[in-house]
Amino acid sequence: MYDLVIRNGTIVDGSGLPSFKADVAVNGNRIARIGRIPEKGRKEIDADGKVVSPGFIDPHTHFDAQLLWDGFAKPALSHGVTTIVPGNCSLSLAPLKAEYRMKLVGMFNQIEEMPLKAFKEGVVWDWETFSEYITRIRKGLAINVAPLVGHSVLRLWVMGEAAMQRTATPDEISAMQDVLRECLDAGAIGLSTSYVDMDEKLQPVPSRYADAEEVDALASVLGEYGRILQIVPEFYDPDLTIARLDQLAEISLKYAIPTTFSPLFVNADNTAAVDRVMRRVDEQFARGARVWPQVQTRPIDISFSFAVPSLLFMRLPSWYGIMRFGTPEQIMDAFRDPENRAKLIKESAPYETLWPNLRLRQVQTKANQKYVGKTLAEIAKARGTTPVDVMIDLSLEESLDAHFMAANMGHNSDERVGHLLKHPRVHIGASDGGAHILSFSTYGDTGYLFSHFVRDLNAMSIEAAVKKITSDTASIWGIPDRGLLQQGYVADIVLFDPATIARGEEKYVKDVPGDGSRYVRDALGVDTVIVGGGIAWTAAKGYQETRGEVLPGEKQDTRPLVAA
Binding site for Zn ion (CB under 5 A): 88-89
- Give the single-character DSSP code of 451: I
CB of 380 to Zn ion, least distance (A): 35
Kindly state the smallest distance separating residue 87's Cβ from Zn ion, in Å: 10
Tell the smallest beta-carbon distance from residue 149 to Zn ion (Å): 14
Backbone angles phi, psi at 201, to 5 degrees: -100, 10
Helix, strand, coil percent content, the chain, rounded in steps of 5 = 40, 20, 40
Beta strands 259-261; 291-295: pairing state: parallel
In angstroms, what is the minimal distance from the CB of 76 to Zn ion?
15
Among residues 235 and 450, whose Cβ is nearest to Zn ion?
235
CB closer to Zn ion out of 131 and 194: 194
Residues 6 or more apart in contact with residue 427 via CB below 8 angstroms: 59, 260, 292, 293, 294, 295, 472, 473, 476
CA dihedral 293, 295, 301, 305 (to 10 degrees): -40
Query: How far apart are CB 60 and Zn ion at their closest, in Å?
Result: 6
Q: How far is the CB of 519 from Zn ion (least distance, A)?
A: 17
Burial environment of residue 311 by CB neighbours within 10 A (0 to 12, 13 to 18, 19 or more): middle
- Closer to Zn ion by CB, 25 or 438: give it: 438
Quickly count: other Cβ atoms within 10 Å of residue 38's Cβ: 7
**Phi then psi for 137, rounded to 5 degrees?**
-75, -15
In the complex with Zn ion, which residue's Cβ is closer, 88 or 439? 88
Nearest in space to 552 (alpha carbons), one of 40, 138, 293, 187: 187
Q: Which is nearer to Zn ion, 54 or 59 (CB)?
A: 59
Q: At what angle do helices 328-336 and 338-347 cross, to 10 degrees?
A: 90
Residue 21 beta carbon to Zn ion: minimum distance, rounded to whole angstroms = 39
Between 66 and 88, name the residue whose CB sits nearer to Zn ion: 88
Whichever of 88 and 528 has its CB closer to Zn ion, that residue is 88
Q: Which amino acid is at 62?
A: H
Angstrom CA distances, 223 to 22, 169, 255, 319, 420, stand at 40, 21, 5, 44, 29
CB of 309 to Zn ion, least distance (A): 17
Least CB distance from residue 450 to Zn ion, whole Å?
24
The Cα 236–Cα 213 span in angstroms is 25
Nearest residue (CB) to Zn ion, 48 versus 234 = 234
Q: Return the residue nearest Zn ion (CB atom).
A: 89
Return d(Cα 246, Cα 308) in angstroms, integer.
37
Q: Which is nearer to Zn ion, 230 or 252 (CB)?
A: 230
